[in-house]
Structure 1
Amino acid sequence: MRVTVFGATGGTGKQVVDQALAAGHKVTAVARNPQAAEAALGERDGLTVVPGDVLDAESVATATAGSDAIISVLGVADRKQPTTVYSAGVANMVRAMGESGPRRIIALSADGVEPNPNVNIGQRLVMALVVARMFKHQYKDMLEMERVLAEADVDWTVVRPPRLSDGEHTGEYRVDAEEPMKDSSTISRADLADFIVTRLADEDTHRKIVWVSK
């Protein structure tokens, strides 16, 4: 497939690019600074780095033209400030998809965006009083991003992982497309990327929120 990746230079993004290329896909990595992205990702067969900004609808449309799928693994550096990167960025992707782009998009969210009813009261309190407050701006915008996708006529999948680590690529993890896991804790960025890349052509995950964990 021809895959356009937004957020390709982040920790998960690099893993997505590596594994997509290893799987034989052609990857277009979108970056505001192409030179820095090329240095971070290296020059490899099947990889093209193009300039672009997720908040610029025209550059998003240009970057996604001719693609079969979009992967959004966006992130923000400053969690203390409000952001619209996730929601506005994905809205631009959806707009580009409706015009002439692909129908398939996989977007990274987070397990903590909503309270998990399947964990005990102690865990819920920690999430509500500590984690949710630390990431309140990102979580708020991720939920808006999910709403944008839910209302879009595209084949979307939202991925909600727990805490990410730099652990090994094992290919062994749990998946639930029905409800949050009661015992999710962490997943390596490599295994998260494994899930994303291997579900590019998976129709069973279309229009679903999916939880993944070690």
Structure 2
Amino acid sequence: MITLVVGASGATGKLLIDQLLSAGQWVKILVRATSQIPDAWLHHARITVLRVNDITRIPVNELSAHLQDCQSVAVCLGHTLNLKGIYGPPRRLVTDMVQLLCTAIRKNTPEKPFRFVLMNTAGNSNRDLNEPVSFGQKIVIGLLRLLLPPHPDNEKAADYLRLKTGGQNPFIEWVAVRPDSLINNAYVTAYTLHPSPTRSALFNPGQTSRINVSHFMAQLLTDDNTWHQWKGQMPVIYNATTSLNKATTHQPADRT
């Protein structure tokens, strides 16, 4: 299987590439011309590097051509955490990329639906479900929508998959993965998966290691059972703790 990964140069995207390669997959990575990527990627037999000046302005026909031999897409895009990245253009970085990819996929009319995996955030509610949100959190989320453009961008990107792609699209099936506060770990550890948050992302956040996010995204892309369990949903992923139960739990294989 070949997966096109957008945002591969980011902290989680790089880990996702490693997870896919470890699973024996082929990958294409779509990155900006100025992005820093590992030298090893340039010479890896199962990696194709596609460099463009502006990933959100790549012509649909060109993107469709890159997707012709792919079966899945993963988006790990995020805004750079500085003033330019947060408040400068493009403010709809993730949303525009999701829309462009979906348009390019539909243009190819694939015989089998693409698997589309979007890295999102636990701070974004799944409005297909009646997820409990406190009054205080609603107030803060409203402020975030006004003051921090990356937050509404994440919301609109997931909403595009929910509302424009939906659950019965013949060309695209999707999952939006919602980690909580991201941390770095060297290895995949046990993690839990939930249809909705089990804690407040603002007032009682959990932790999710980037490598666990990348592992789950790779599982979605490569494992049929995992995909059929979560497709059309927005699973929340936390690092496992003794206080979290009644959830789908992943236990990593022993490392030798």
Q: What TM-score, normalized by structure 1, do the two folds share?
A: 0.85
Contact 1:112 1:127 in 2 (8 A): no
Report the Cα distance in structure 1 between the residues aligned to 2:209 and 2:75, rounded to whole angstroms: 17
- CA deviations 1:128-149 (Å, max 9, x no partner) are 498x379731110111111211
Contact 1:111 1:162 in 2 (8 A): yes
Contact 1:30 1:63 in 2 (8 A): no
How far is the alpha carbon of 1:156 from its aligned partner?
0.5
> Higher mean Cα deviation, 49-58 or 85-94?
49-58
Q: 1:59 to 1:37 in 2, by over 3 A?
A: farther
What secondary structure is seen at the aligned counterpart in 1 of 2:87? Answer: coil
How far is the alpha carbon of 1:113 from its aligned partner?
2.5
- Amino-acid identity (%): 20
**Count of residue correspondences:** 211
> Which residue in 2 is equivalent to 1:48?
48
| 2:191 is the alignment partner of 1:149 | no
What secondary structure is seen at the aligned counterpart in 1 of 2:86? Answer: coil
> Which residue in 2 is equivalent to 1:198?
219
How far is the alpha carbon of 1:34 from its aligned partner?
7.4
Q: 1:174 to 1:55 in 2, by over 3 A?
A: farther
What secondary structure is seen at the aligned counterpart in 2 of 1:167? Answer: coil
User: Structure 1, unaligned stretches of length 5 or more?
Assistant: none
What secondary structure is seen at the aligned counterpart in 1 of 2:48? Answer: strand
Q: 1:169 to 1:126 in 2, by over 3 A?
A: farther
User: Structure 2, unaligned stretches of length 5 or more?
Assistant: 240-256
What CA RMSD, in Å, does the superposition of the two structures yield over aligned residues?
2.8
Contact 1:81 1:137 in 2 (8 A): no
> Which residue in 1 is equivalent to 2:253?
none
What secondary structure is seen at the aligned counterpart in 1 of 2:103? Answer: helix
How far is the alpha carbon of 1:54 from its aligned partner?
3.3
User: After superposition, where does 1:134-213 map in structure 2 within 5 Å?
Assistant: 136-150=148-162, 151-152=164-165, 153=169, 154-177=172-195, 179-182=196-199, 184-200=205-221, 201=224, 202-213=227-238
Report the Cα distance in structure 2 between the residues aligned to 1:37 and 1:164, rounded to whole angstroms: 21
Report the Cα distance in structure 1 between the residues aligned to 2:179 and 2:146, rounded to whole angstroms: 17
User: After superposition, where does 1:90-109 map in structure 2 within 5 Å?
Assistant: 90-100=98-108, 103-109=114-120
What secondary structure is seen at the aligned counterpart in 1 of 2:237? Answer: strand
Q: What TM-score, normalized by structure 2, do the two folds share?
A: 0.72
User: After superposition, where does 1:73-88 map in structure 2 within 5 Å?
Assistant: 73-77=76-80, 78-81=85-88, 83-88=91-96
What secondary structure is seen at the aligned counterpart in 1 of 2:29? Answer: strand
Q: 1:203 to 1:125 in 2, by over 3 A?
A: closer
Partner letter of residue 3 of structure 1?
Answer: T
Q: Which has the larger radius of gyration?
A: 2
Report the Cα distance in structure 1 between the residues aligned to 2:232 and 2:6, rounded to whole angstroms: 20
Contact 1:26 1:46 in 2 (8 A): yes
